């Protein structure tokens, strides 16, 4: 009888641990890398398009967990064009590896002549 009871207690503990692990895996944080670029008023549209395409091509890397981009439509920033690029990574090492991709250096060559301002934020997501 003691063996059956011990087995049931062990099985219960294992079920609880598996449930906690499953919840942790579903709510795993990702490392977000956000770049917001305010373009100079005279930035050529074709140069902006090249930058968008470069970000999009970099997002195909196996190091990237997800990627999205868009144009800021906030009414607070009238008269300026801001593009937002959000790249997500599973780890800090993946983000560091991404920065070593040869095409990554092209981001600076393309963006510096046309960018009036650049804001960058990196953070770990919290799921609630």
What average pLDDT values come out for the chain (128 residues) when binned by 10 residues? Answer: 46 47 60 96 94 96 97 82 95 97 94 94 91
CATH architecture of 31-124: 2-Layer Sandwich (3.30)
Residue 31 DSSP symbol? E
Sheet holding 31-39: strands in order across?
66-71, 82-89, 31-39, 115-124
Q: Which two tokens stand for residue 13?
A: 């503990």
Confidence (pLDDT) at 72: 92
Q: Which of these, 62, 111, 110, 119, lies nearest to 86 by C-alpha position?
A: 119
Q: Which letter does DSSP use for residue 25 in this model?
A: H
Q: What pTM does this model have?
A: 0.76
Alpha carbons 82 and 87: distance in angstroms, whole number:
16
Of the candidates 98, 93, 116, the one whose C-alpha atom is nearest the C-alpha of residue 36 is 116
């Amino acid at each position: 009888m003691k063996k059956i009871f011990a087995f049931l207690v062990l099985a219960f503990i294992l079920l609880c641990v598996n449930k906690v692990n499953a919840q942790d895996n579903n709510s795993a944080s990702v490392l977000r890398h956000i770049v917001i670029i305010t373009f100079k008023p005279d930035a050529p549209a074709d140069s902006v398009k090249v930058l968008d395409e470069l970000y999009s091509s970099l997002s195909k890397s196996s190091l990237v967990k997800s990627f999205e981009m868009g144009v800021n439509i906030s009414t607070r920033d009238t008269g300026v064009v801001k593009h937002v690029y959000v790249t997500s990574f599973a780890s800090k090492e993946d983000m560091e590896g991404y920065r070593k991709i040869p095409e990554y250096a092209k981001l600076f060559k393309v963006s510096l002549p046309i960018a009036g301002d650049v804001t960058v934020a990196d953070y770990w997501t919290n799921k609630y």
